[in-house]
Amino acid sequence: MERLNLYKVKERRISIKKFLVFVIIVLIPFFSMFFLSQFWVYQSISKTVESYPLVFNNITFLEPLEIPKIVENEILKYDSKLNIIVNKITYYKSYLNKVYYSKYFLQELLDFFKKKNEKFFIKSINFSDGKFKILFYEFSNQKDDFSEVVNKLNDVYKNVGISLKDTKTLYSDFKMFEFYLEGEL
């Protein structure tokens, strides 16, 4: 005998085989994307390891997904070391500038003394708190013009000035001039 469907509101049922086929069809894109992303991560990691073998020789890792964290930590370590080096370079540069400027006035004055035929005698040099003061004597027939030295020192220092403190006649027209050179950083 034939089975007739005489009910108008009959519930449709799916067989277990059809249900499993539908579930598999729905899950295939998900798994394919998952495996594709994993493959892409492994490929990018292997390219990175090939590109920087010296960096990864020192790193041991068990889980490939931890590699980005490890790399990020290494980058942060190297950045901090780089900042320390930059700070040290800046410190030494400022120290060298300070040392250079603390002795530049003396170098310019001695270079000026070497160019002249007259005799000079430096009695005292005082450099403290960013200010320098030099007391020196010139032995000659007439006093020299120190404007060249003052102009050079004005490029580096502030309030550079030279003043004649005293003049003494030693022998006929041969004189001793006492000068006072001062300035500040």
What tens-digit pLDDT sequence spans the chain (185 residues)?
Answer: 576 666 666 677 788 999 999 999 999 999 999 999 989 888 887 887 787 777 677 666 656 677 777 778 888 888 899 999 999 999 998 888 777 766 777 777 777 777 776 677 778 777 777 777 888 888 877 777 777 777 777 777 778 888 878 778 777 777 888 888 887 87
Strand order in the sheet with 158-171: 119-128, 131-140, 174-184, 158-171
* Residue in 31, 34, 61, 64 with CA at minimum distance from that of residue 47: 64
The Cα–Cα gap between 91 and 109 comes to: 28
pTM score of the predicted model: 0.45
User: What is the b/e burial string over 110-122, where b = at least 16 CB atoms within 10 angstroms of the residue's CB?
Assistant: eeebeeeeeebee
